[in-house]
Amino acid sequence: MMLAARPTSVARLTGRFMRDRRASSAVEFAILATPFFLLLMGVAQVGIFFMAQSALDTGVIKTAETLRTNFTTGSTATLLNAGQLKISVSSSAGAMISDDASLAVEIRQFSNLTSSTVPIVDGTVDYGSNTSTLVLRAQSTVVTLAPGLGGLSRIYSSALVRRQGT
């Protein structure tokens, strides 16, 4: 005598699946792991951004101090060319900022900046006259790790230097 197969309903299978607790931890981990790791990557990205911003600020300020010292020594000032400015900023900034195509450095007379949105042109060197106020500006890119944080990929820094003497 053959036994007839019992019809299995969807409700019965669903109920059996809901009562089975063997893999509940793995499912909960899979649900919570993605947002946790995205949050972790976002925190790391913000930390990298601020470290790189601080490094670029340090490089620009130290280069501005060097220029200021050159201007006030009483002798003829040693004016750095575009390549020397870039090397000075990157070497003073440390390992976070590299001297490559992503780093742009310029120095201009403050009076030549016609608005607050003048783009930085790499290699612009304009020391002006003996009493000019100069703006040393730099920009660089930061590695973006976290998806959606591409807006944190460029950093900018600037410093004012008063040219006095020769």
In a domain, 73, yes or no: yes
What confidence tens digit (pLDDT) does each residue in 4-36 have?
Answer: 555 567 778 777 777 777 777 888 888 899 899
Residue 160's φ and ψ, nearest 5 degrees, are: -95, 140
Say how many domains are in the chain.
Answer: 1
pTM listed for this prediction: 0.77
HSE-CB of 12 using CA atoms within 13 angstroms? 4
Question: Which of the 8 DSSP states describes residue 76?
Answer: -
Q: Which residues span the domain enclosing 138? A: 24-162
In a domain, 125, yes or no: yes
In a domain, 151, yes or no: yes
Which of 99, 127, 95 is CA-nearest to residue 111? 127
DSSP per-residue codes, 79-105 = ---HHHHHHHHHHHH-TTS-SSTT-EE
Helix (H) or strand (E) holding 133: strand 133-141
In a domain, 4, yes or no: no
Tell me the three state secondary structure of residue 158.
strand
The yes-or-no verdict on residue 50 having pLDDT over 90 is yes
In a domain, 9, yes or no: no
In a domain, 117, yes or no: yes
What confidence tens digit (pLDDT) does each residue in 91-146 have?
Answer: 999 888 887 888 999 999 988 777 777 888 898 898 888 888 899 999 999 888 87
In a domain, 102, yes or no: yes
DSSP per-residue codes, 27-48 = HHHHHHHHHHHHHHHHHHHHHH
In a domain, 157, yes or no: yes
Q: Which residue has the tokens 């016609």?
A: 114
